[in-house]
Structure 1
């Protein structure tokens, strides 16, 4: 047998002996996880595992091991489509399971470690998964040719059936065992785009049935024998720590087993969830706020604004922006305020950990298994090889589960460590825990200044971005360059517009408030600030919002131009910004190598914007599954719309976090969701991200429409703060 593996760079390689491990599913409680059990060809010789990603069973089903967590964005379907395409499988025979934690086999080729984020799942897997499918196909063909005694060149595969012109035909399963003895091609032949039958079609999502029937298992569904449920009392000021606690009343609650202090707070162990929550309510904790953030949001904004006025380090500079502005016929200034934002995923954080005789097994919606695994091992004092992670379905993330600090894994490990010995524990975060738990989208200030000449042309542009760094001080700090965190200002730099003089500065601020990437990361605020300010400059210069942008676009901004022209045609843009009681706004923004332009239709409903429709054009390279692309754009637009209209996490006097549930952290409601029409631009470029790029343009497009309708520029988000509703 041959050894077929995929390296970190995504290439197939062969060696002289031994079939590379596929992975098999253990018992049902491991749910969607492929688990860490090695595939044993001696125990299951009828299953064909040509590489770490593909398994072909005797019943003709093809299971694809998905190295990226599935929390609604579609990698189970998208990556399985790539394998099925090259394998010439029928979609009905395809299955998907989560891969185990294993950097060597399942690293994100763009990160170098196993993880999901930055809208990279498809981008880093496109060629890797196609090659995995093509290699499996070649080995099945060779097996059939050997079995039938015919040349391999005469074998064809279509919709999961292997056939020969003499009328002989069989399914994949008939050759699964023999295929395992075939030599894997080092560079399997891939299809040309013109021959695709599945890529580019709306194949049904593989996990829809399980999710809609309740069969899909999430971490919340995992129960282990003797398991204790644990909730932790966390501080309501970021950076505070336990000074002392009194557990007398907590221990009187029926079902409460123990109360123990851990580095993250005070943990209440109980037989049931209800008992754990009641025990925590009865707990008396005194917090040490000496190192906590005690400023209010208003005070932080004031400090950031002063820092912006002092200037920062240049992230990008073209020409002499200040000279251009100083010599301008007209100067326009604006200061944009963006609040801390919670991710507010439907499923709050949770984890189940079982420790048995020095070995640990974790069930969790782990977005970075490569970081969670060593954190568990180090905290528990065990070897990483004795830690197994089962990656579960997760009910959303939007960046929240992408934890460089692996703090949830650390917390559940500390819970087990404090208990000591063998056992199993389920850690639950409530919605309130999630809201006050930090790891927010950074509070940000943009101080903007632009100059126009006598003809209304932009002659100078200056943007000072002030916020905390997400990367500094953590495992991702190595991605910073010369102390600069590109995620803090991405999107404010490298704009598609040909401005003669431009300067973008970054000012780093520090705070005990923990921050984290939030859907579209820096683009979530830079897209708003740049596209709203540009619209103001174009208006002041007497320029059309669409044509003005097109006229400014650089020669190499063809894909930006393409989506803007496409959305203008889609929406029937004729240059009229206000028609009756409706106004129209536009924005275009590239993020994660995907180009998106949007036009929105807005009316004034009692002094507050009502968004009726969003037209969107997107260029994300090859559209592997157009339906997934459309739904991700729709979801991103809705998520982004809610964030600019309603959402903020506020620090009150003394630094206390004010918003604790959806009654105060106002999400977009179903009746407020506009109609969304999506046009996917045909492209031969390799696929790029789609989970995040639909978000950045929606906010500025709404703001631009609202200004056209009312004359009011919204520079302080959310709209409820500026509009006053």
Structure 2
């Protein structure tokens, strides 16, 4: 997916196998839910910041096991004790005689030997690759243009199709006049399905021209009149009902009743689109007895399964060619676009590449859900929190995407971060109210639940600090006595950001802390300026990261930097709004992302230790919104509880 695992995984394997990274060749894995199952999800998937976290030991153990077998095969051939041999750069060497055999000469015999139950893994002090900033193995191809993404697929006789789906979820095609579209040069075929129309052509331009010439009348269905205000109104009503208790310490209700002061707030986080650089696409060739699919997917086994289901073919008759994907961010954890492409391809002779326009990509995304949170805290006479409650309202992605993970009415992803509260507060209660949002499809967005929970928690703790008239950094620090790793990253970020030191006129700092099921601790300080018109300029971001053992420091830093960039755009401008059931945004003119000339200086500082590795692909995004919101408050005195930030600053 491009987040560095194509280098980190080889580093883990090569470390124990005793080969150099220059001796490693990578291949995309084919679909196989058992053989290539993610150890965290227990099926084939990449996402959730789980790659290193889940595969750190399995990849090392695989390398160590192979090394042990290869040494045993060499010792058998030489008739010596395996303990007198060692491995080095893809060869086994006999210490006393300096005899040497390459792995290739030993592989066949090694594969026949019994697999040992336990193999010794290296001690960290003996690492040669783990912990080093090895250059990424996938970079040369991505720089010189030889890397192949699914949108690059070219096949003999291939047609190009682009689509128009119902602009309202649940709508259908009521009537279609395709005469003008068929008259466009290069247009070969119009495929009409219940809720989507595809124009099949010789090339993309003809397909787009044909699509523009179509006269489609839609039956918008039951969601035809719904707008964003309707969604929020229903969420607010759902928040009046107590939810399922997800986390409880002490008696929060009693503590609130006896508190010296009580603070309450409502926070909202909007629908968000992914807008990955590579728009949604999938190439399919359906034959009477087989089906081939070329795509980039985070769930390759599911891509194969949906193609089999649509075609009615056995799974072994469906071949899926795995490609690099130009941005996932959770969007390609869905397989809706594969399903659609196969449905279209069933009506087309030969291979067809289905490409969504950017407008289709934005308006038919699987959006980050809209979340609505009611917060309350009770404080003592000194302003220290003694009670904390959060009632989180939103849909359950896991109930749809991974039903076994949705248990006892709780969605662990929606609650991620909220149930991991690190602050030393004696009475805590976190509730979850499941409320589905049927007007749009909702799914994962680089961090999902944590992106909204960290914004809510770290903004609200900032409110408590302000109410107590205490420094936000010191206020947090005093509450972290039971979490030394969290306290350490908070102090490190503040130190490198120069917390408390004077800033140029018009600038202010905000601070935020994050911990979640990724088991990574991250603190961030944002330095911003807010113009009179409400425009936010982010000048500097300082991050301190404790993700346990670091496999590749440069990749960790790059992931934090990329996550911060993604998070800034989402926090300042990101939102998807609805009117008459339709998504109002359509392209980069109204789905604003951070540009290069707007990007701040980003300083990333890593804590090095021997703790188990945590996830790193998403934390940088999750902690950015609250750091910015708190910096905006420091600069303007305006507490913004509903993202995106700039909309509220400009409206003021």
The two structures have a TM-score, normalised by structure 1, of 0.85
Partners of 2:17 and 2:396 lie apart in 1 by 44
Which residue of 1 is the match for residue 41 of structure 2?
111
**CA-to-aligned-CA distance 1:537-588 (integer Å, 9 cap, x gap):** 0121133222221222262x232223222222332334x6866433221111
Which residue of 2 is the match for residue 673 of structure 1?
599
Tell me, yes or no, if the aligned pair for 2:560 and 2:616 is still in contact at 8 Å: yes
Which residue of 2 is the match for residue 47 of structure 1?
none
Tell me, yes or no, if the aligned pair for 1:156 and 1:162 is still in contact at 8 Å: yes
1:676, distance to aligned residue in structure 2 (A)? 1.3
SS of the residue 1:418 aligns to: coil
SS of the residue 1:115 aligns to: coil
> Is 1:242–2:173 an aligned residue pair?
yes
Which residue of 2 is the match for residue 628 of structure 1?
555
1:233, distance to aligned residue in structure 2 (A)? 1.0
> Is 1:585–2:510 an aligned residue pair?
yes
Partners of 1:477 and 1:184 lie apart in 2 by 35
Which residue of 2 is the match for residue 416 of structure 1?
345
Which residue of 2 is the match for residue 292 of structure 1?
223
The two structures have a TM-score, normalised by structure 2, of 0.95
SS of the residue 1:668 aligns to: coil
Which residue of 2 is the match for residue 521 of structure 1?
448
Tell me, yes or no, if the aligned pair for 1:295 and 1:655 is still in contact at 8 Å: yes
Which residue of 1 is the match for residue 191 of structure 2?
260
- Answer with 78-87 or 242-251: which moved more: 242-251
Which residue of 1 is the match for residue 271 of structure 2?
340
Partners of 1:586 and 1:605 lie apart in 2 by 20
Which residue of 2 is the match for residue 425 of structure 1?
352
1:225, distance to aligned residue in structure 2 (A)? 1.6
Partners of 1:219 and 1:395 lie apart in 2 by 9
Q: 1:116 to 1:264 in 2, by over 3 A?
A: farther
Q: 1:215 to 1:711 in 2, by over 3 A?
A: same
1:655, distance to aligned residue in structure 2 (A)? 2.2
Which residue of 2 is the match for residue 476 of structure 1?
402
Partners of 1:710 and 1:532 lie apart in 2 by 15
1:170, distance to aligned residue in structure 2 (A)? 4.9
Partners of 2:99 and 2:429 lie apart in 1 by 69
Partners of 2:389 and 2:476 lie apart in 1 by 18
Partners of 1:153 and 1:672 lie apart in 2 by 58
Partners of 2:71 and 2:19 lie apart in 1 by 13
- The number of residue pairs the alignment matches comes to 647
Alpha carbon RMSD of aligned pairs, Å? Answer: 2.0
SS of the residue 2:331 aligns to: coil
Tell me, yes or no, if the aligned pair for 2:274 and 2:365 is still in contact at 8 Å: no
Equivalent in 640, 643, 648 of residue 714 of structure 1: 640
Which residue of 2 is the match for residue 202 of structure 1?
133
**CA-to-aligned-CA distance 1:253-283 (integer Å, 9 cap, x gap):** 1221211222441122112111111111111
Give the alignment of 1:140-219 within 5 angstroms: 140-165=70-95, 166-219=97-150
Tell me, yes or no, if the aligned pair for 1:715 and 1:722 is still in contact at 8 Å: no
> Is 1:400–2:331 an aligned residue pair?
yes
1:99, distance to aligned residue in structure 2 (A)? 1.0
Which residue of 1 is the match for residue 583 of structure 2?
657
Equivalent in 491, 501, 504 of residue 427 of structure 2: 501
Tell me, yes or no, if the aligned pair for 1:578 and 1:709 is still in contact at 8 Å: no
**CA-to-aligned-CA distance 1:392-426 (integer Å, 9 cap, x gap):** 100111000001xx21221111112234xx62121
Partners of 2:502 and 2:620 lie apart in 1 by 22
Partners of 2:650 and 2:350 lie apart in 1 by 53
Partners of 1:517 and 1:616 lie apart in 2 by 24
> Is 1:491–2:422 an aligned residue pair?
no
Which residue of 2 is the match for residue 467 of structure 1?
394
Equivalent in 461, 471, 475 of residue 534 of structure 1: 461
Which residue of 2 is the match for residue 356 of structure 1?
287
Tell me, yes or no, if the aligned pair for 1:138 and 1:184 is still in contact at 8 Å: no
Tell me, yes or no, if the aligned pair for 2:536 and 2:646 is still in contact at 8 Å: no
Question: Greater relative contact order (Cα 8 A, min sep 6): structure 1 or 2?
Answer: 2
Which residue of 2 is the match for residue 82 of structure 1?
12
Tell me, yes or no, if the aligned pair for 2:439 and 2:581 is still in contact at 8 Å: no
1:322, distance to aligned residue in structure 2 (A)? 3.4
Runs of 5+ consecutive residues of structure 1 not aligned to the other structure: 1-70
Q: 1:310 to 1:186 in 2, by over 3 A?
A: closer
- Answer with 190-199 or 674-683: which moved more: 674-683
> Is 1:568–2:494 an aligned residue pair?
yes
1:480, distance to aligned residue in structure 2 (A)? 1.0
